[in-house]
Amino acid sequence: MRIKLNRNIFIKIVFILLILFSTGINLAFSQTIFMPISEIRSGMKGIGKTVFHGTQIETFQVDIIDIVKGEGGISHFILANLSGDKIKEGGGISEGMSGSPVYIDDRLIGAVSYAWEMSEHNICLVTPIQEMLEIFNLPYNNSHTTSQEYKINNSLYFTREKANKIIVKNSVKNNNFSKLADREEIIFYSIVSPIIISGIKGRTLDRLSSSLKKFNLMPIQGIGFNENIDINFQEVGEGPSNKIEAGSAIGIQLTRGDVNITYIGTVTYREGDKVLALGHSFLKKGDVSFLLSEVYIYHSLPNMVMPFKLGAPLNLVGKIVQDREVGILGILNSYPRIIPLKIQVTNINTELSYQTGVQIINDYDLLEPLVSNITVQAIDNALDRIGLGTAQVEIEIKSEREGQKLFRKNMYYSSDDIAIQAITEIPEIIDLIVNNYFEIVSLTEINIDIKIDNKKKIGRIEEIVLEDSSIKPGDYLEARIKIRPFRGELIEKMLTIQIPSDTLPGEALLMVNGGGELDNQQEEFTDSIKKDYKNLEEVFKDISDWPRGNQIIGEVIIYSDEFTSEEEACEDDLKKKEEEEDLIISKIETDMVIEGYLEITFTIEKLTNLPIDQFAN
């Protein structure tokens, strides 16, 4: 027997079932440890949890003002006022409180995430836990519209102007909170903790701060560790004394070891080994692999713009794997892949060595500024001065693939800042490796060895003397290069370059450069050496073979006597056509940085004992 079902009736049945299913989910959600937006009302009171000092989690009071509605990435915020003795003592909401969980009737409603700057620092926005739990359901839709106004039929709505800036607008007079009654809008910023840096200071901190600006990171100088705190940097994961729970202070670390670069936040919710935190993004990089550590809080420092927590990283407890608009996701008791950086700087004059060991996150956008600035700091620590010197630098970079290794050595001199001069090639080397066209390079180790002498170990090219100014194809061009060491006697080096046997007769030019001269024109030089590589091995080999500051570099350019076309002859019949072949190069090693440039012409003779068609084509 067939039963015919009216199409309209069928659609209505499906619609009713969907409503019942949705209602069931909301009911289930409402009966759990979470409280949905639909149940939150103005005037409700609750508590929040965070760390104000040490690692102890304490509570503060929360008063709900209203719900800020909208559409898009985060569709709702909860507007709240925080109070309590600890909030008052710290000067209000502190940077570092991002992620502090908020509860009403012991049910989690969300995370403190945005604050009203340049105020009494008590009003904040809370990111609903419903929004944050979506990170558990990756793949996550990371799309959102910037500078779009989300209007709704409510007295409060928000405009997201930037990733870290939200404008809450009051479309009608709102009397739920006296401070809002006469205001048309309030600007909230994500409670972005400054990046706390220990192990880098002074001018290096300024340099790193400049590099990190494009990531909206604001570094500040950190302080040392309390001697009474028992820290074992080799430990990974939680221990009996450092259990991570909602309200715990955590650190997202870019580096760990002799240099610690830490962003402080607070855990919102834990489920098994997964933790949600911040209530807003860190760098909004999506899939990430950052170091996650427990943090010791020293104090909340008052500040006119916004107070901030000053702290230091403790044991490593896991890794950050997601960095999204509504928060970050961490995995406890699991270690991220890192790049070990080892630097040794030897002061030749004092015979003292300074070693630096750092674990760097596997993020190629941040790798170069971190490596470069940590190296500068290591040199400054070893020399305890800024000024002239001669440096011998060796850089070894290893990758995960067996046998894939780069080794580069060079010699530098600077009359005013040898530390900055010594890192000249690091940005170019890292860029060529991580942005190569051929394959992803998984770096496993970076070793930098630097020896610095405070002597002026330089020499200048003063004269070129050719043994013979006219030679035949296949013969060796021999040139005596006279070098004047700084305040020393002239020395001679013999430069020998074989002229290819198929070279056409004509004039030629020998150019002699000091490698140090190329270092002084680094930008121009690196542009000139960029090549169309065929594979990654060519990239590594080419970097290793770059000219060095302590080399005398001879280059020969050959010119032809013949024109290749009548048209070219008509353009300038008084000039010879210049056919610049691949440069014929020879290098001589020295024990000093060579400066200067000279050139000299010579003649390639025609071979008379070979058939004339030897030179055809």
Q: Measure the CA–CA gap between 556 and 508, rounded to whole angstroms.
A: 7
584 pLDDT band, cuts 50/70/90, is confident
> For residue 468, is it within any domain?
yes
- Same-domain check for residues 382 and 517: no
- Looking at residues 458-483, what average pLDDT do you find? 94
Q: Measure the CA–CA gap between 113 and 304, rounded to whole angstroms.
A: 19
User: Which residue's structure tokens are 């043994």?
Assistant: 467
> For residue 212, is it within any domain?
yes
- Looking at residues 65-83, what average pLDDT do you find? 82
93 pLDDT band, cuts 50/70/90, is confident
pLDDT of residue 272: 93
By three-state DSSP, how is residue 117 classified? coil
- Residue of 359 and 188 predicted with greater confidence: 359
What does the mean pLDDT of the chain come to?
82
Domain total of the chain: 4
31 has pLDDT over 90: no
- Looking at residues 120-140, what average pLDDT do you find? 82
101 phi, psi to nearest 5 deg: -70, 145
Q: Give me 603's structure tokens.
A: 């003649």
Q: Give me 226's structure tokens.
A: 């309390």
Interhelix angle 364-383/426-434, nearest 10 degrees: 160
- Same-domain check for residues 475 and 522: yes
382 pLDDT band, cuts 50/70/90, is very high
68 pLDDT band, cuts 50/70/90, is confident
- Looking at residues 386-412, what average pLDDT do you find? 94
571 phi, psi to nearest 5 deg: -65, -40
Q: Could you tell me the residue range of the domain that residue 307 belongs to?
A: 195-337
Question: 0.85 cut: is pTM over it?
Answer: no
Q: Measure the CA–CA gap between 343 and 339, rounded to whole angstroms.
A: 13
Q: Give me 385's structure tokens.
A: 């001065």
For 2-16, 441-455, 594-608, which range has the lowest pLDDT when averaged over its residues? Answer: 2-16
Question: Pairing state of beta strands 327-332 and 274-277?
Answer: antiparallel
Q: 598 - beta bridge partners?
A: 512
- Same-domain check for residues 185 and 41: yes
The residue out of 453, 478, 508 marking a domain boundary is: 453
Q: Which residues of 435-472 are buried (b: 16+ CB within 10 A; e: fewer)?
A: ebeeeebebbebebbbbbbbeebbbbbeebebeeeebb
- Residue of 475 and 234 predicted with greater confidence: 475
> For residue 25, is it within any domain?
no
CATH number, domain containing residue 244? 2.40.10
- Residue of 607 and 209 predicted with greater confidence: 209
- Same-domain check for residues 308 and 349: no
- Same-domain check for residues 389 and 513: no
pLDDT of residue 1: 47
Q: Measure the CA–CA gap between 234 and 434, rounded to whole angstroms.
A: 29
- Same-domain check for residues 583 and 607: yes
pLDDT of residue 154: 42
For 153-157, 229-233, 255-259, 598-602, which range has the lowest pLDDT when averaged over its residues? Answer: 153-157
What is the residue-wise DSSP string for 375-405?
A: HHHHHHHHHSS-S-EEEEEEEEEEESSTT-E
Q: With 0-12 CB in 10 A as exposed, 13-18 as middle and 19+ as buried, what is 84? A: middle
Q: Measure the CA–CA gap between 18 and 21, rounded to whole angstroms.
A: 5
- Same-domain check for residues 280 and 312: yes
pLDDT of residue 569: 45
pLDDT of residue 196: 92
First-to-last alpha carbon distance for the chain, in angstroms, is 92
449 phi, psi to nearest 5 deg: -115, 125
| Cβ partners under 8 Å of residue 330, min gap 6 | 250, 274, 275, 276, 277, 292, 318, 319, 320, 321
pLDDT of residue 509: 94
For 11-25, 372-386, 492-506, 536-550, which range has the lowest pLDDT when averaged over its residues? Answer: 11-25
Q: Measure the CA–CA gap between 350 and 383, rounded to whole angstroms.
A: 9
> For residue 12, is it within any domain?
no
Q: With 0-12 CB in 10 A as exposed, 13-18 as middle and 19+ as buried, what is 123? A: buried
> For residue 31, is it within any domain?
no
The residue out of 133, 157, 190 marking a domain boundary is: 190
- Same-domain check for residues 99 and 59: yes
- Same-domain check for residues 365 and 504: no
pLDDT of residue 23: 47
> For residue 46, is it within any domain?
yes
Which is nearest to 531 in space by CA: 543, 548, 547, 521?
A: 543
List of long-range contacts for 438-442, beta carbons under 8 Å, 24+ apart: 438/533, 438/535, 438/536, 438/539, 439/536, 441/399, 441/401, 441/404, 441/536, 442/337, 442/362, 442/399, 442/400, 442/401
- Same-domain check for residues 352 and 318: no
- Looking at residues 350-369, what average pLDDT do you find? 94
Q: Which of 59-63, 432-436, 613-617 tops mean pLDDT?
A: 59-63
- Same-domain check for residues 480 and 602: yes
> For residue 404, is it within any domain?
yes
Q: Which residues of 525-561 are buried (b: 16+ CB within 10 A; e: fewer)?
A: bbeeeeeebeebeebbeebeebbbbbbbbbbbbbbbe
pLDDT of residue 494: 95
CATH number, domain containing residue 434? 3.10.20
Q: How many Cα atoms are found within 13 Å in the side-chain-facing hemisphere of 446?
A: 26
- Same-domain check for residues 584 and 474: yes
- Residue of 224 and 226 predicted with greater confidence: 224
**Is the separation of the CB atoms in 550 and 485 below 8 Å?**
no
The residue out of 137, 159, 190 marking a domain boundary is: 190
> What percent of the chain is predicted at pLDDT more than 70?
74
427 has pLDDT over 80: yes
> For residue 543, is it within any domain?
yes
User: Which residue's structure tokens are 């750092």?
Assistant: 358
**Could you tell me the CA-to-CA distances from 591 to 371, 395, 456, 595 in Å, in that order?**
27, 19, 12, 13
pLDDT of residue 227: 53
- Looking at residues 361-381, what average pLDDT do you find? 96
